[in-house]
Structure 1
Amino acid sequence: MAEGTKLKPMKKGRIGLYTIGLSTYWEQFPGLRERIIGYGEFLKEKMALRGEVFYYGLVDSEEEGRRAGEWFQAQNVDLIFCHAGTYSTSSAVLPVHQICHAPVVVLNLQPAARINYEQTTTGEWLAHCGACPVPEIANAFSRADISFRVINGLLGLDQTPAISLANEVTKDRPEAIRAWKSIEEWIQAASVRRTLRHSRFGFLGNTYSGMLDMYSDFTMIQAQTGLHVEVLEMCDVDRMLREVTETQVREKMAEIEEMFAISGDSPADPIAKKPTAEQLEWACRVAAAQEKLVLHYDLDALTYYYHGAPGNPYEKLQAGFIVGHSLLTAKGIPCAGEGDLKTAVAMKICDILGIGGSYSEIVVVDYEDETILLGHDGPFHIAIAEGKPILRGMGLYHGKQGTGVSVEAKVKSGPVTTVNLTQTGDGRLKLILGEGVSTDGPTMKIGNTQTPIKFREHPDDYMDKWFREAPTHHCALAVGHHARQLQKVAEVMEIRQVTL
């Protein structure tokens, strides 16, 4: 999904970084101080490709640690990397994180895969002993009740510093590649945290009556994610609809014709027909109004549901929602139906990470193929579709009022991740993650999205584990296997997670 197609760009995480050492060493071993600071500068430059990096420099005493903590606090960082450049006492590190409470990751990244045993001096060895203080730091963090993670591996330099006696070109070593993948995942997790904390989620209408799993306290959502919920009414959409021009309708029609295939009548379901010209025109007009609504209220995501009396003008308005909300989802404004705010958050997390996130629920189990079909009656994330999604005219929306145009599609074949954001009995958010494979198995032609997914276990065994975690009945469906990345998101956001 191209960044340029998004209505609003995501925010980069603000990343704190500092290098540690022992002040006593600097006079004893000339060049060591500058050498490990150089390693820190390398980390800063490479991290800056993903996030907004604030490099403090060297922390080599408890006084410097306090100054660094105050500085990071002033920069409002989302995450701090502590780079173990050489040995340091833990008393220099702990004050940083007692003052600034951003999540911390310790980097134990050795410059060379192997030291030069025959020629190495004490000063040379000290430039490679970043692992030495990590157990001490871990002990201090644990006793101070500070959560932390450690990334072990190689630094990944592409050239050896002149001062070095070893070969420090390690960028292609698996230990460097693995370490940098983890670093990038942490930076992406910080970007999710920052973007959500600056996000505005529209809540249009109500939650579908009786769906108890989806009810949430807006204050609780803001308290745990930082996002603002903007409560909207159908009259807000209606006001935007009155401002739609014929030119804007034609532009939406061109957009729809480019992104969708227009179906004929379903060969199976009598309520799924070829969309009429009137239905398509109305879907385009409503889609233009929906985009106006998003821009007017500066929204980053939207959840919606309207249950109206038959014949109410708003019934016709909401009947045109699915196509426009699918277009918005593809442009970085995830839209979740039935008033499911938590799934809108899950979809937004996926969108920030660039992995899609389509609105889904369990459709049916195929015991012959041992797959579980996930999908919904809309909206759909067009950017992760297998081929062109199909538009079908619906004689009715099952369980809802009205008629209109719906989307029939599946997510691309290949690895997928289910991302379910639920709420526990004590009012805490919890992320439930699952990895599977989207297959090319058969789907129904009923105007709904459907993706057959094969998980590692038999469907019955998998569902037994899944349901035991008390999920909501909706989830976001992302392309690729991203459980490790999403685990880091949960940790940075300080919400619980379980991976099935």
Structure 2
Amino acid sequence: MTPPALIKPCKKARIGLYSVGLRAYWEQFPGLRERLLEYGRFIEKRVSAWAEVVNYGLVDTEAEGRKAGEWLNERNVDLVLCHAATYCTSSAVLPVHQINKAPVVFLNLQPTDRIDYERSTTGEWLTHCGACPVPEFANAFNRAAIPFRVVNGLLGMDYTPATSVTNEVTYDRKEAIRAWRDIEEWVRAAAVPRNLMQGRFGFLGNTYSGMLDMYSDFTMIQAQTGLHVEVLEMCDLDRMFRNVTPQDVKKKLEEVQQMFEICGDSPSDPIARKPTDEQLEWSCKVAAAQERLVRENDLDALCYYYHGAPGGEYEKLQGGFIVGHSLLTAQGIPCSGEGDLKTAVAMKICDILGTGGSFSEIVVVDYVDETILLGHDGPFHIAISEGKPILRGMGMYHGKQGTGISVEAKVKAGPVTTLNVTQTGDGKLKLIISEGESTNGPIMKIGNTQTPVKFRKHPDDYMTQWFAEAPTHHCAMSIGRNASLFQKVGDMMKTVHVTL
């Protein structure tokens, strides 16, 4: 099953990089400067796998630091990596970040796992003493009220420079693997604010009446994330719908047949039946209109809900939403139901990071398996599905108007991480992060998405802790162990975050 092509691929972060040293060393120790720059180029190459990198080179005086800060400003970087290559005074480094306000990570990456004590010269030692200035930087930054982060470990090179007197092949050591995992996470996390700041989120219809946890102020959302909320009307979608051609419907039907299993009647639930040809055609026509709406408005995500008057045209239109919104979610346009804008943000964060992000809430607890079933009546993230998702015709959408087709599926077995975006009493966004395991446990055959998740605590203990954090009742489910990554996203977004 090949996911459909992305409508709007996410932008990579732009990372600033520079190395530091003390200018007095260059005449005293010939070749030291060039060797440190070589290490910087190695870091640049590694980081380029995840981001666009701009490398200033070497900062070795206070004046050079000011030049570097202006240079980084001109390039609009999202994150700066300061490579502590050797000793450097803090007076050279602090001006960089007083001028450039992007978050900074100090890289204390030693080239060797052990110096050659017998043969090392002072010049050789200086190529390995990157840890020496970091506490000085930390003190100066703390007193200047500039936040900083540090990655400690080995440089992880796969060769030894010709001028070295010790082994510098350390890529397979745990200290290098751990350090580069951290660096990758910081770099990937830096892409989230860039994409949100330039994002356009559609808000179609309204929020489900009475779900007070989900109500949000559009200005607050833009103030804290930078994203623009484009308010859309059902008549906008209806206009797209009226222009859908038979060829558009045929193309969507081919997508649906490739991505989904068209299932028979549920053996247990009389309202979950085999989709009729009419329901499939209607859902495909609506899906084509939904994609047109996204493209015409240049959207990066969409949250939606429309109750509709019984028997009204728009009620019938919204009855076909789930299939198309599931397809859009797989195409990089996360769609959250019930007008939940905050969960659309959570889903988009997961999407930017390439970890999925399926719309979920608590369904039921299995006290025998000690799992919590998480899911919803759609949409579903097809790209992280355990096998082909199933389509079932629904005699009714529980708690909502209308009938149509829904998705029955589960997230693939293995590690998962849920991301909840909630709003606190003082109006601030907050991330709630939980790691668990998607199991092979049973699910109901009722046309809903459902994934049994075993968290690290007993379900009762987990729920007690989660509820105490006052979450929005929906969340985004991602694949992988992403707590450390999501924590860094919270840091980059300057958002409070907790991990359960």
What is the CA deviation profile of residues 54-107 of structure 1, one whole-angstrom value per residue up to 9, with x for unaligned ones? 111111111111111111111110000000010001111111111111111000
C-alpha deviation, 1:307, in angstroms: 1.6
Aligned to 1:48: 48
What TM-score comes out, normalization by structure 2 length? 0.99
The residue matched to 1:379 in structure 2 has which SS?
Answer: coil
Question: Which amino acid is 2:287 matched to?
Answer: A
Rounded to whole Å, the distance in 1 between the matches of 2:442 and 2:51 is: 42
Structure 1 distance, partners of 2:137, 2:365, is 49
Give the Cα–Cα distance (whole angstroms) in 1 for the partners of residues 4 and 492 of structure 2. 27
Which residue in 2 is equivalent to 1:371? 371
Superposed CA offset, 1:439-478 (max 9, x none): 1111111111111111111100000000010000000011
- How far apart are the structure 1 equivalents of 2:3 and 2:82? 31
In the TM superposition, residue 199 of structure 1 has moved relative to its aligned partner by 1.0
Matched with 1:421 is 421
1:104 paired residue number: 104
Give how far 1:239 is off: 0.6
CA distance in 2, matches of 1:335, 1:86: 48
Query: Structure 2: how far apart are the matches of 1:154 and 1:442?
Result: 45
Indicate conservation of the 8 Å contact 2:420/2:472, yes or no: yes
Paired position in structure 2 for 1:199: 199
Question: Do the aligned residues in 2 keep the contact of 1:356 with 1:479 (CA within 8 Å)?
Answer: yes
- What are the residue-to-residue correspondences of 1:254-273 with 2, within 5 Å? 254-273=254-273
Residue 276 of structure 2 corresponds to which residue in structure 1? 276
**In 2, Cα distance between the equivalents of 1:183 and 1:337?**
34
Contact kept, 8 Å, 2:322 with 2:405, in 1: the verdict is yes
Q: How does 1:177-256 map to 2 (within 5 A)?
A: 177-256=177-256
Structure 1 residue ranges without an equivalent (≥5): none
Partners of 1:455 and 1:243 in 2: how far apart?
Answer: 47
**4+ runs deviating over 4 angstroms:** 1-4
2:477 aligns to what?
A: 477
Would you say the 8 A contact 2:3–2:330 is kept in 1? no
What SS does the aligned partner of 2:359 have?
A: strand
Q: Is the 8 A contact 1:10 1:352 kept in 2?
A: yes
Task: Give, as a single letter, the amino acid of the residue that structure 2 aligns with 1:445.
Answer: K
Listed as ranges, the matches of 1:155-170 within 5 Å are 155-170=155-170
| Contact kept? 1:415, 1:481, Cα under 8 Å | yes
Taking every aligned residue pair, what percent have the same amino acid on both sides?
A: 73
Paired residue secondary structure (1:417): strand
Question: Residues of 2 paired with 1:477 and 1:87: CA distance?
Answer: 44
Cα deviations across residues 303-347 of structure 1 (Å, max 9, x unaligned)? 000121111100000000000000000111000000000100100
- How far residue 298 of structure 1 moved from its aligned partner, in angstroms, is 0.6
Query: Equivalent residue of 1:107, what SS?
Result: strand
Q: CA contact under 8 A between 1:3 and 1:9: conserved in structure 2?
A: no
Q: What is the match of residue 343 of structure 1?
A: 343
Cα offset, 1:389, TM superposition: 0.7
What is the correspondence of 1:401-440 to structure 2 with a 5 Å cutoff? Answer: 401-440=401-440
Matched position secondary structure for 1:210: coil
Query: Residue 240 of structure 2 aligns to which amino acid in structure 1?
Result: M
Structure 1 CA distance for aligned equivalents of residues 122 and 253 of structure 2: 71
One-letter code aligned to 2:223: A
In 2, the alpha carbon distance for the partners of 1:442 and 1:53 equals 46
Q: Which amino acid aligns with 2:101?
A: H
Q: 1:3 to 1:53 in 2, by over 3 A?
A: farther
- Once residues 258 and 49 of structure 1 are traced to their aligned partners in structure 2, the CA distance between those partners, rounded to angstroms, is 32
Q: CA deviation at 1:175?
A: 1.1
The one-letter code sitting in structure 2 at the alignment partner of 1:377 is D
Distance 1:172 1:442 in 2: 40
User: Taking structure 1 as reference, are residues 182 and 441 closer, same or farther at Cα in structure 2, changes over 3 Å only?
Assistant: same
Q: Which amino acid aligns with 1:499?
A: T
1:131-170 → structure 2 map (5 Å cutoff): 131-170=131-170
How far apart, in 1, do the equivalents of 2:300 and 2:457 lie?
36
Deviation sequence 1:273-317 (CA, Å, 0-9, x none): 111111110000000000111111111100000121111100000
SS state at 2:202 partner: strand
CA distance in 2, matches of 1:3, 1:318: 24
1:194-252 Cα distance to aligned partner (Å, 9 max, x none): 11111111000101111111111111111111111111000111011111110110111
Aligned partners of 1:455 and 1:462 also within 8 Å:
yes
Q: Which amino acid aligns with 2:109?
A: L
- DSSP 3-state at the match of 2:339: coil
Aligned to 2:355: 355
RMSD: 1.1
Q: 2:222 and 2:445 mapped to 1: Cα distance?
A: 39
| Other-structure match for 2:130 | 130
**3-state SS of the aligned residue for 1:235?**
helix
Letter in 1 for 2:431: L
Deviation per residue, 1:375-406 (Å, 9 max, x gap):
00000001111111111111111111100000
Shift of 1:3: 8.8
Cα pair 1:151 1:179 within 8 Å, conserved: yes
The 5 Å alignment of 1:377-388 reads 377-388=377-388
Note if contact 2:4-2:330 (Cα within 8 Å) is conserved in structure 1. Answer: no
Give the corresponding residue for 2:333.
333
| Secondary structure in structure 2 of the residue aligned to 1:5 | coil
Question: Quick check: 1:16–1:77 contact (8 Å CA) kept in 2?
Answer: yes
Distance 1:168 1:113 in 2: 7
Residue 162 of structure 1: CA displacement? 1.2
Match of 1:94 in 2: 94
Deviates more, 1:190-199 or 1:207-216: 190-199
The Cα offsets for residues 256-283 of structure 1, whole Å up to 9 and x where unpaired, read as 1111111111111111111111111000
- Tell me, yes or no, if the aligned pair for 2:3 and 2:382 is still in contact at 8 Å: no
Mapped to 2, the partners of 1:237 and 1:4 lie a distance apart of: 22
Contact 2:192–2:489, Cα closer than 8 Å, also in 1: yes
How many residues of Structure 1 are paired with residues of Structure 2 in the alignment? 500
- Structure-1-length-normalised TM-score: 0.99
**Separation in structure 1 between the aligned mates of residue 488 and residue 335 of structure 2, nearest angstrom:** 24
The offset of 1:253, in angstroms, is 0.7
Task: Note closer, same or farther for the CA distance 1:262–1:2 as it changes in structure 2 (3 Å cut).
Answer: closer
Code of the residue aligned with 2:347 in structure 1: it is: M
- The amino acid of 1:88's aligned partner reads C
Shift of 1:4: 7.4
| CA-CA distance at 1:2 after TM superposition | 7.4
What is the Cα deviation at residue 492 of structure 1?
0.7
**Distance in 2, Cα, partners of 1:372 & 1:188:** 29
CA contact (8 A) 1:252 1:285 kept: yes
